[in-house]
Amino acid sequence: MYEEAKYIHNLYPEIQDFDFFILVGFIHDLGKVLLSKKFGGLPQWSVVGDIFPVGCKYNENCVFADFGFQTGNPDYHDPVLNSEYGIYTKNCGFNNLQMAFSHDEYLSSVLEKNSTNFPKEAMYVIRFHSFYPWHTSKSGTRGYDIFASEYDWKMLPLLKAL
């Protein structure tokens, strides 16, 4: 489970070299190039912002939940896709969720498809760094924790460190 207030190297003794973490800090938002006309010129709303899993009920801990934007999505009115677990199972792990498209998903996909040498921990924090309902909940209750696996709980301090 989640441990707080410890040195990061004590929480992850299996990681011998944290040099990758510095580089991840520099590149984690590179997916925002999708806003540039040279890389697609996508609108800001489709690239930047908090991410959340699709295929299940939208959580109130999402940054823009109070605005009601999610009610315009047809999935919001689907009884299966708007149920607590939706198409997923309890504790299935975040890597098994389909997340809303974002600069995070884009960059992690590009790195993965190009056989990056980053460790799995780096790929995890790149993919989920904008998953605010999970790591920086506005209510104090973690959103989507029903899907968290032991690995997700273990990665939480590293994700928060980014």
- Give the domain ranges of the chain: 22-161
Q: How far apart are CA 116 and CA 35, in angstroms?
A: 23
d(CA 107, CA 102): 9
Interatomic CA distance for residues 74 and 82, integer angstroms: 10
Residue by residue, pLDDT tens for the chain (162 residues) are: 556 656 888 888 899 899 999 999 999 988 899 889 998 898 887 787 788 999 999 998 888 888 888 888 888 899 999 999 999 999 999 999 999 989 999 999 999 999 999 999 999 999 999 999 999 877 788 999 999 999 999 999 999 998
pTM of the model: 0.89
Name the 3-class secondary structure at 53: strand
In angstroms, the CA 135 to CA 145 distance is 10
